[in-house]
Amino acid sequence: MRLNKYLSLCGIASRRKCEEYITSGRVTVNGKTVNALGTVINEKKDVVSVDGKTLSMPNEFVYLKLNKPKGYACTKSDEKGRKTIFDLVESDVRLFNVGRLDFNTEGLIFLTNDGDFANMVTHPSFHFEKEYHVTVEGEMKESEFAVLRRGVVENGKRMPEAKVKFLSWDGKFTKLSVVIDEGQNHQVRRMFDAIGKDIKLLKRVRIGNVTLGGLYRGKTKSMTEEEIACFTGAK
């Protein structure tokens, strides 16, 4: 088995993130540091450790969805000492987050110890949609909607197209739905920065066919078999 796959199956992170662990020299096999990405191990005999801790594959996988509040970092430990999403989770199992939401964005994020599941959710080849509810100050013009839909131009490069739908206007704020199927860094915020709109609230409400539903802010809930199958069925 390839080393990065073994690490992900042990609940360290997605396969792509596990490659960073390997290249940074944090992984040992039978006591020797390994930093070659193509390394193959015998998962039944070899002893694999990360940061000095010996790994073993879990007996069962855990899949949670979390309604992340603003003011929490998507990391196990934050170098700035900020609260993290794992402060909200009670679990005896070592979990990691699937993808990220920035510090001031709230909404749906998955937590798991299944690296293959994480890889399917985040791999760009599957193009799972992500829907956000965006609240901006001021009234949106139809021309601004059109720019967002065809892809804003940032530093001379056009960003991906987006599905944008008007939801409401209360005389001060516009609320709209934005659906994207690529995961560029801070993509939604950059889209609105490019048209000069200030986001007051950004919330992810859906990944693929899985929604927040009635999940309260800061709470977790086990994913159903049907929700998990939305992604595992894409193999």
- Nearest to residue 197, comparing CAs of 130, 138, 148, 111? 138
Q: Are strands 48-50 and 27-29 parallel, antiparallel or unpaired?
A: antiparallel
Q: Are strands 53-54 and 96-98 parallel, antiparallel or unpaired?
A: unpaired
- Which residues lie below 8 Å from residue 44, measured CB to CB, with a gap of 6+? none
DSSP state letter for 155 = T
Structure tokens at 25: 């020299």
Give CA separation, 135 vs 1, 50, 198, in Å: 46, 42, 9
Q: Which residues are catalytic?
A: 102
Structure tokens at 127: 């193009």
DSSP secondary structure string, 166-221?
EEEE-SSEEEEEEEESS--TTHHHHHHHHTT--EEEEEEEEETTEE-TTPPTT-EE
**Rounded distance, CA 208 to CA 129, Å?**
5
Q: Are strands 173-180 and 130-137 parallel, antiparallel or unpaired?
A: antiparallel
